[in-house]
Structure 1
Amino acid sequence: MTVSQFFVYKRPVAWALLVVTVAWGLFAYGQMPQRQDPQIQIRSGVIITPYPGATPTEVEQRVTRKIEKKMTENPAVERVNSISRQGQSAVFVTLFDTTKNAEQVWQDLAAKLEVLDDLPAVGGQPLKPKLDKDFGDTVAVMLTLSSPPVSDFEIDERARAIGRAVTEARTGRAGPRLSGVLVHPAGVAANFVERMGRSVLSALTEAGIAADGQYVATIGAGLIDFRLPAGRTEADARTALENWERESVGTGAGHPDMWPGVLIRDPADLASALKERVRSVPGGVARYTFKQMHDYADVIQDRLRQSKYVGRIDQLGVQDEAVFLYYSNRRLTELGLDPSVINLRLAARNISLPGGQVELPGQTLAVKPSGEFKSEAELGGVPLDARPGYPLYLRDVAEIVRGYQDPPRQLHYRTVRGDDPGGPRRAVTLAVRHIKGTQIAEFDADVTARLDVLRAELPDDLRVERTSNEPAQVEKKIHQFTDCLVEAVVIVVVVALVFMEWRSALLVAASIPLAVAMTLGMCHLLGIDIQQISIAALIIALGLLVDDPVVASDAINRELAEGHPRAVAAWLGPQKLARAILYATVTNIVAFLPLLLITGGSGEFVYSLPVVVTASLVASRVVSMTFMPLLGYYILRGQKGLAGAHPDDRRGFARLYTRVSRFCIGHRWLTLFVATTALGTGFSLVPLIGSAFFPKDLHTTFSVNLFLPEGTSVREAAAEAERVTRLIDAAAGDEVAAYTTFVGQGGPRFWLSVVPEQPAPNYAQILVHTKNAYATAALANRLKLALPPRATGRLTVEVLESGPPVGVPVQIRVYGPDIARLRQIGAEVKGLMRSIPGTDNIHDDWDPDALQFGLRVRPDRAAVAGVTNEDVAAVTQAGLSGTATTYLRERDRLIPITLRLRPDERARAEDLATLTVFNSQSGAKVPLDQVSEFQLEAIPPKVLRRDNERCMTIKCDALPGTLPSAVVDELEQRLKPAAAEWPPGYRFAVGGEKEEQTKGFKSIATAGIVSMLAIYLALVVQFNSLTKPLLVYAAVPFGMVGGLMGLLIFNVPLGFFAGLGLSSLMGVIVSHVIVLFEYIEEAHEKGEPVREAVVDAGLARLRPVLVTVLATVGGLVPLALKGGPLWEPLCYVQIIGLLVATGVTLLLVPVLYVVFVEDLGLVRWDPPGTHADGPPPEPVG
């Protein structure tokens, strides 16, 4: 008993299996993880090594090259890139795409770093490189907390209290008087405000603007009260105060949490003055301090970490606290005290060591020595020197102030259009990742529930927003693709109803959910997620999926029409065509399955496409041989085939097809000439089709990136980013909803194609959130033209890519040993780029030289004075940037205690000369300017390397309407003769989109060749002939040209997904021809002449082919219209290619068959029954 017979005669069991199949599919759908894009394993890591004080070339030679050499010892490492900056090395390691045991490789690389013992030492300790292999993970949610501005109510309340303090402070003082008011939150240390106030008062007094001045501390403010001398005006005082605020930025004299200062004459005017000053700040003055924002972020992070769905969480925009020990160089010199003594005393005092154990009868007690600092207040009591008569404590030589690390490493703002006041608001973002393999919907529900509970614990006016929300994107994308799938199913059913009687259409419609359910079950077992690729694969497979059921239904109807009982016809029809259906299914499978050979990120991105299509084809084959006979037994009653009537009795489309086929066969050489001419014409038009690897995606976010000149501070970059945001807002208008700005580093990897920039003070990223995803690309293109060109630095506008990251599309890499020569060649390449129309944003990744304040130690003088180069570096580091001595522990935070020179002793460059250099061993001390010289010098801001060579990459974008591939082709032609003139050791290579395209198309070509050979082998086995498979392949070139013409017609470039469409199109075409040949052989067995046989076979296949092709085409239409730019190329290739190939299959293939039989004699057409008593002879060929 065959399988088909079993399902007809054992119907109760068959019905039970049908129910189980549907339940299996529903269960699998509920269990399969959902995501927007396929999971791509990021086989990249970064090794960060701080090397304070070293220039980029010193970092390269002493650190970077040694790490590179160590990393390349592992054979799994494909590529090593590096960036050597001032004081830091960053080495990027990329593993081969074929690496399976990536975790073991990372462990081996980490072990190699541990034994790397020839790196330089800093402060007596060898450098410790740190490997981060998770920096490429994509975040699921960006939670952005933004502070509201201070309210008018708060300003009024503060003004009343401060106004009373001003009145009291002026009592008994001669007038007229002015008062400077420095408002501060409760978290700002009072001694910091006092130092700031006294510094302002001192500056005003020295400028002759203030007399009879006093500083008065009150709750929430510091007051500077003074009398204006004769001849001075209030405007003079206001100007002097603003100058002080501007000059104090970056010196530590100001505080980021303080309100801007105001000057008042009448205390009654304080409220209005404060409101005016506060509103002059873009976005207003933040109500919550950086520390409060950090605390709120910690509360949310701690609560989210309790979730079983939440993985790693990073915080961006947090300002790290620090305790500063501000010392006076003059004071320490007078006391003969080396600053390093402070380091030693603090380190010895701040310990957390075990004190052993005490054995008592019946128990053992641990001894815990005290020592760790509990607060900054304890620091002042640390003794430094036990001098005769009085001890010297830290409070005697240093001012202890708690604040934030200065200058800040990063800043973060959120701007929402419609806010009052408008402008950037202080923000902190939590980058939340979800644990791989978990349901994104369950992650979303759990995070939402926890945030709802947390709202009661957070201030009502603290804004918490999802500035990137993968769960919502996944839901939208899956809903969109599910709609496409439903629409495709409806179209397939409608097509079946048009070309088949209603019972047959109903049977085909019933087969679809069964095949889809079985497909989902198999995909769940294979570990496939529900994402846009897998759902689109189902849509693509829909036409293939109904092919077997359509053929099976048609076969059952034929058997019923010939008079067989229902129970016999239900299994006999599919059984007769089982061999042909099997080979057609295998053909389609081997057309798609080789796509698994595509390597790299592109291969991982499309991995689920061949798997889902293959599962669909297997499911379709199983359904056609099992449930179709079962359902056909109940539903079908017989339908006459198109080929059943006598040729003279045929009507309508059948009669038209018969006449056209006979004409083509009768004039077969003319037909072949016309077809060949059309084929050649089509191929000649292919060069008109442009190429683009992956299109831009549809998203409501794009980025504007600011790369400012080296040496730009984070605060300057933030001010420039705010200015650019205003320009964007003026150009974009109501199309933009909000902006999220990261300064000093890029945002997290919230999208697959986003590659975060490494931290740099001169970098800022503005994420522009639009209201309509379909308007994003047009707005971004408009901004490229609307934003004014920059005199310094550069600005880029980048739309998110749909696929693995490529970056800037046009890239030329120039390799060579000498930096100066590399810059010359780079300038030459940039000149060639500018000469090509359509290029934009031309730049290289080295950036112009930066200025450095060179401090050259005179060895002879230093030796005489008894100091070393290390002593000089130590005193300048401590004086200017500060030296971390030890840490203050608060909960899970370690707050550095930093020794730093007083702001007023390092405000000017000439202050450096007054520093005193100490030698802790000899006790020698000498002014810095006596042992060193100062000079400005130009140095490269960074040194980039690739695969152990210095490498400069020159990049550019293509303007809208210009394809990057056209720019690269033109650029390569101009570069080759120029490169021949370069010195030995210098060469160029093409990167960017073309490099990825070459890799991708090479993989696709490999998959196509494997597919073609596998199909040919299957055909040889099926037909036992070497020549018949060539006939089968005859329709393939026409389908390919048709697909390429689809790209030309719809003006879509040839990209990766178009290549996938062309590769898979071959199997679909061949499968139709295989079944056509099966009908030709059946007619042959009935004794028909070859010409009648091919016409009747075409008529017999006409309805199934039309149903299948139109179902496939119709199913692809919703995907082409709604699936976004990623799917358009594939859909257009298959839609036009299938339509062209269908005409070729039904008209040209019969002509070729007759030519092979009658004219060339390559295929025998023996009378039926010739070989009934023995095996048939071997076919010709």
Structure 2
Amino acid sequence: MMLGVTMKSGSNIIDVCDKCNERIRVLIEDEQALPRDISVKPISNQADNVSQKIDDVISNVISAIVIVVIVVLLFVGLRTSLVMAANIPIVVMASIAIIAFFGVQLEQISLASIIIALGLLVDNAVQVCDQTRTNILSGMKPTEAAIEGARTLTLPMLTGTLTTVAAFFPMLFSLEGGGREYVYSLPVTLSTTLLLSWFLAMTFCVILAAAFIRAPKNPNAPSAPIPWLTALAGKLYSRLSRTAGDSSVAPASGSEAADKENIFLKLYGASAIAAVRVKWVTVAVAIGLLVACMSLPISTEFFPRDRRDQFYVNILLPETSTIEQTSEIVAKVEMAVRKLSPSTDDSGQSFERLRSMRSMIGKGGSRWALGVDPPSPNSNVAEILVRTSDGALTPKYIEDIRRVTSEGDEELGIEPIRGARVIPMTLALGPPAAPLVLRVSGDGFADIGQLRRIARDVKNLIRDQPDTWDVHDSWGVDGFEITLDVDEEKANLSGVTNANVADTLNAYFSGLQLSTFREGERQIPVYFRLAKDERRDLSGIQAAFVEGQNGKIPLNSIAKAVQRWQPAKIERRDMNRTIEVASEVEDGVSGNDVVVRVLNSDRMKEIQASLPNGFFIEVGGSYEESQDSSAQMLTSFGISFLLIVIILVVQYNGWSKTLVILATLPLAMMGAFFGLWFTDNSLGFMPQLGLLSLFGIVLNTGIIFIEFADILIARRAENCPGDGPIAGLSKQEFRECLADAGKQRMLPIFLTTATTVGGLLPLALSGGPLWEGMAWLMIFGLLVATLLTLYVVPALYAIIVETFGVQPVASTSNES
């Protein structure tokens, strides 16, 4: 006997499971209410899996925060890292408190969302500290420097934050079904964390910056380990160059500012000006790289499979099977599972892979996991839930069960199981969807023979694919039935109706309740029907008698028994007869890739061309779910894009700079697609969310760059004669401003990238299949987009200014 406990909405799964286990312990040990020969074993304890996932994600969060603090300490120094380290826990704790009001609990999605937000969270604090330090170096007092720095950064940082929030917020109303249920906490957590991060950066971080950030005693001396090493490398390089007599590297007179720059800033300055000088070539190279990356072969997958210490085995017999026959097959499968349990580790020690299992015959169990869709009640279905001793053993255990149930194993004494489909399955991390499904449909009451023929051709095509197994259709095999053709004329003359015939046969084989026998409080129904042996033999139907208005007459005098094969099940979809042809795919193979290969094959084109009028083939399963989710994500992206455009147009009061910033989005896609291809991950639902997150971070980088480029151009224009074509500047002066803007923002941009990548590395390396693809997509996307942004954005800015005559700022000569 099995007992399932379902948690009420809003409860804590860990508390519920702990209370259940405690109650069982009290029943057995304290109250001793159960007989000693009855044992209680937990088959599925969701608290174990949830606790493990939460512990893993919390560990990843802690690792990410530690990595972020270390990165900031190495590149910026102790004071800034202390301000940032003080800001992170406050933002995180406040965000957790706020998202609870939106119905979001602490789980792996919400915790991972905090990791994704760490990069921008740190960026806000670093921007404030860096600008405060710059203002102090220019002669301001610490408090004045912090306030002025916040005033300078308020609008661009708010714009960057709002564009990132705009990338996620539309998910709340554009996603539907299981996808929305699954990722609801992600946009809520990210939006809350980012908005709160900006608010605290403009308030709490300003206070901390005024209190802790100070100008170094020697402004020219590095204040952090990495800058110190780069400065040392630059000195060694200069000394070696002078020793070699290379006068080309000697600085020109009057270039004291250049001498203060480290070797990386010098290299970037020279290369940035070169990229702006050949701006069209720079943009063309970026477009070429984008086209190359977009053409890489990347598989698609709705949701990956989980790696946990549970799996299930679905058992399906022909539709006409009895529950006794199903029970016999289940017993054979259980025996195979037990015999396959013993195994040995690398050191040669034996252990058991099977921890426990339970079987449900005639129906599936309760929905014990999100990725499981239990079979509907029927006499020909069964489900076995298996719990292994370690999640790492699950894939091999499944492979062994699948092998021995289809081929047998003489050494273990296991015979192959015939006449039933035995399907061991791992758990999906998302809503359940078969990896490969093709639907064969015909309008209305389409001809069954035609449907069967088309479905058979499709099954043969799928069966010939190298990566498929368990190819089947939803109608199954035909059932043998006996139909009574009643002669209406003879029946009317005999006073027998169709209802009389039906009642008689129902009484013979199913039973007619005559009375109820009472025994104390028990009520036992009394039925009239044929004996068991006679019910199993249908040949006696012709000898049966039926009672009508004129008395009993032989059934064979008014009806003829016709034996025939008929579909045991007929399914409809949108009022049309439909046969679903489905299969499983080998482990590690994307079902969507197999679907695409089947649809593009010559045989499928021949099948499609030969379809009669009114018949059609369409895709279902995981591929259909992926298409639907992609359409929903496309809608979300469209709304996000519109919101981002509105924010940028309002910020810059025009389209030119807005278009330059929006051009950074393809740069993010370039690295993202390359990352998926390089790490062999699929473009699934979660990587698509990662792409949206990546868009927000890259947009923020472009916004900050444009803002500081405008500030430098305006400052330089104030100190020049004002006779140049670009806001009073010459082309060379304008290009130097773009390079200087990149130099000034290189450290914050680099820190945003480094801290985000550092925070995502634990997810990429140990976050499990749900997060690996998204983490690697964002890591590669950020690395490539950051590098290209520092060159492509200046080149695009130069194009709209130098080629199309757009003025970056108001000219001083015009103002006068």
Using the size of structure 1 for normalisation, the TM-score is 0.59
Cα 1:457–1:1151 change in 2 (3 A) is same
Cα 1:892–1:475 change in 2 (3 A) is farther
Match of 1:702 in 2: 311
Secondary structure, counterpart of 2:72 in structure 1: helix
User: Are residue 825 (structure 1) and residue 434 (structure 2) matched?
Assistant: no
Match of 2:291 in 1: 680
Q: 1:841 is matched by which residue type in structure 2?
A: D
Match of 2:335 in 1: 726
- Asked whether the equivalents of residues 1028 and 1163 of structure 1 are also in contact (C-alpha less than 8 Å), the reply is no
Secondary structure, counterpart of 2:259 in structure 1: helix
Cα 1:565–1:869 change in 2 (3 A) is same
How do 1:896-911 residues align onto structure 2 when only pairs under 5 Å count?
896-903=525-532, 906=535, 908-909=537-538
Partners of 1:678 and 1:891 in 2: how far apart? 85
Match of 1:1125 in 2: 769
Match of 1:768 in 2: 386
Q: CA deviation at 1:913?
A: 6.2
Q: 1:1008 is matched by which residue type in structure 2?
A: F
Match of 2:743 in 1: 1099
Among all aligned residue pairs of Structure 1 and Structure 2, give the percentage whose two residues are the same amino acid. Answer: 33
Secondary structure, counterpart of 1:840 in structure 2: strand
Match of 2:231 in 1: none
- Asked whether the equivalents of residues 867 and 924 of structure 1 are also in contact (C-alpha less than 8 Å), the reply is no
Secondary structure, counterpart of 1:749 in structure 2: coil
Partners of 1:464 and 1:927 in 2: how far apart? 57
Deviation per CA, 1:639-666, whole angstroms, max 9, x where unpaired? 6699998123212433333333334334
- Asked whether the equivalents of residues 492 and 1114 of structure 1 are also in contact (C-alpha less than 8 Å), the reply is yes
Deviation per CA, 1:410-446, whole angstroms, max 9, x where unpaired? xxxxxxxxxxxxxxxxxx2222211112222332343
Partners of 1:1068 and 1:679 in 2: how far apart? 19
> 1:991 is matched with which residue: 615, 620, 644?
620
Q: CA deviation at 1:504?
A: 0.5
Partners of 1:837 and 1:1160 in 2: how far apart? 56
Match of 1:487 in 2: 63
Match of 2:250 in 1: none
Q: 2:678 is matched by which residue type in structure 1?
A: I
Partners of 1:736 and 1:890 in 2: how far apart? 45
Match of 1:254 in 2: none
Q: CA deviation at 1:1049?
A: 0.5
Partners of 1:894 and 1:1126 in 2: how far apart? 54
Q: CA deviation at 1:510?
A: 0.8
- Asked whether the equivalents of residues 437 and 580 of structure 2 are also in contact (C-alpha less than 8 Å), the reply is no
1136-1145 or 931-940, which moves further after superposition?
931-940
Match of 1:526 in 2: 102
Q: 1:440 is matched by which residue type in structure 2?
A: I
- Asked whether the equivalents of residues 1004 and 1063 of structure 1 are also in contact (C-alpha less than 8 Å), the reply is no
Q: 1:807 is matched by which residue type in structure 2?
A: A
Match of 1:363 in 2: none
- Asked whether the equivalents of residues 302 and 685 of structure 2 are also in contact (C-alpha less than 8 Å), the reply is yes
Cα 1:949–1:670 change in 2 (3 A) is closer
Deviation per CA, 1:994-1034, whole angstroms, max 9, x where unpaired? 21111111111122222223222222221222111222123
> 1:571 is matched with which residue: 147, 159, 172?
147
How do 1:108-187 residues align onto structure 2 when only pairs under 5 Å count?
none
Secondary structure, counterpart of 2:624 in structure 1: helix
Secondary structure, counterpart of 2:214 in structure 1: coil
Gaps of 5+ in 2: 228-254, 344-352, 408-416, 718-732
- Asked whether the equivalents of residues 434 and 583 of structure 2 are also in contact (C-alpha less than 8 Å), the reply is no
Q: Compare relative contact order (CA 8 Å, sep 6+) and give the higher one, 1 or 2.
A: 2
- Asked whether the equivalents of residues 316 and 422 of structure 2 are also in contact (C-alpha less than 8 Å), the reply is yes
User: Are residue 617 (structure 1) and residue 194 (structure 2) matched?
Assistant: yes
- Asked whether the equivalents of residues 480 and 564 of structure 2 are also in contact (C-alpha less than 8 Å), the reply is yes
Q: CA deviation at 1:1048?
A: 0.4
Q: CA deviation at 1:929?
A: 5.8
Cα 1:458–1:1171 change in 2 (3 A) is farther
- Asked whether the equivalents of residues 879 and 906 of structure 1 are also in contact (C-alpha less than 8 Å), the reply is yes
Secondary structure, counterpart of 1:1053 in structure 2: coil
Q: CA deviation at 1:451?
A: 2.5
- Asked whether the equivalents of residues 44 and 387 of structure 2 are also in contact (C-alpha less than 8 Å), the reply is no
Q: CA deviation at 1:860?
A: 6.1
Deviation per CA, 1:86-111, whole angstroms, max 9, x where unpaired? xxxxxxxxxxxxxxxxxxxxxxxxxx
Match of 1:241 in 2: none
> 2:41 is matched with which residue: 448, 465, 470?
465
Q: CA deviation at 1:916?
A: 5.3
Partners of 2:97 and 2:380 in 1: how far apart? 52
> 1:812 is matched with which residue: 436, 439, 458?
439
Q: 1:1035 is matched by which residue type in structure 2?
A: T
Match of 1:716 in 2: 325
Partners of 1:785 and 1:638 in 2: how far apart? 70
How do 1:817-966 residues align onto structure 2 when only pairs under 5 Å count?
817-856=446-485, 867-884=496-513, 896-903=525-532, 906=535, 908-909=537-538, 917-918=546-547, 924-926=551-553, 933-966=560-593
Cα 1:924–1:696 change in 2 (3 A) is same
How do 1:329-368 residues align onto structure 2 when only pairs under 5 Å count?
none
Partners of 2:657 and 2:516 in 1: how far apart? 82
How do 1:563-712 residues align onto structure 2 when only pairs under 5 Å count?
563-596=139-172, 597-638=174-215, 646-685=257-296, 688-712=297-321
Q: CA deviation at 1:934?
A: 4.3
Partners of 1:761 and 1:645 in 2: how far apart? 88
- Asked whether the equivalents of residues 99 and 189 of structure 2 are also in contact (C-alpha less than 8 Å), the reply is yes
User: Are residue 555 (structure 1) and residue 105 (structure 2) matched?
Assistant: no
Partners of 2:513 and 2:204 in 1: how far apart? 75
Q: 1:550 is matched by which residue type in structure 2?
A: V
Deviation per CA, 1:763-812, whole angstroms, max 9, x where unpaired? 22222322222342344345445532665343323221111221243323
Partners of 1:497 and 1:504 in 2: how far apart? 7
Secondary structure, counterpart of 2:668 in structure 1: helix
528-537 or 930-939, which moves further after superposition?
930-939
Q: CA deviation at 1:1149?
A: 1.9
Match of 2:634 in 1: 1005
Q: CA deviation at 1:1104?
A: 1.2
Partners of 2:778 and 2:644 in 1: how far apart? 19
Determine which structure has the larger strand proportion and give its number: 1
Deviation per CA, 1:34-76, whole angstroms, max 9, x where unpaired? xxxxxxxxxxxxxxxxxxxxxxxxxxxxxxxxxxxxxxxxxxx
User: Are residue 1162 (structure 1) and residue 791 (structure 2) matched?
Assistant: no
User: Are residue 803 (structure 1) and residue 430 (structure 2) matched?
Assistant: yes
Q: CA deviation at 1:701?
A: 1.9
Q: CA deviation at 1:527?
A: 1.5
Cα 1:503–1:887 change in 2 (3 A) is farther
Partners of 2:689 and 2:784 in 1: how far apart? 18
Gaps of 5+ in 1: 1-427, 1174-1181
Q: CA deviation at 1:762?
A: 1.6
Q: CA deviation at 1:578?
A: 0.7
Using the size of structure 2 for normalisation, the TM-score is 0.85
Cα 1:876–1:1170 change in 2 (3 A) is same
Q: 1:945 is matched by which residue type in structure 2?
A: R
> 2:360 is matched with which residue: 732, 742, 749?
742
Aligned residues: 741
Cα 1:800–1:630 change in 2 (3 A) is same
Q: CA deviation at 1:670?
A: 4.5
Q: CA deviation at 1:845?
A: 0.5
Determine which structure has the larger helix proportion and give its number: 2
Match of 1:170 in 2: none
Secondary structure, counterpart of 1:836 in structure 2: coil
Match of 2:785 in 1: 1141
Q: CA deviation at 1:878?
A: 3.0
Q: 1:443 is matched by which residue type in structure 2?
A: V
Give the root-mean-square deviation of aligned CA atoms.
2.9
976-985 or 996-1005, which moves further after superposition?
976-985
> 1:1025 is matched with which residue: 637, 648, 654?
654
Secondary structure, counterpart of 1:457 in structure 2: coil
Match of 2:714 in 1: 1085
How do 1:205-284 residues align onto structure 2 when only pairs under 5 Å count?
none
Q: 2:694 is matched by which residue type in structure 1?
A: L
Partners of 1:1055 and 1:961 in 2: how far apart? 14
- Structure with larger Rg: 1
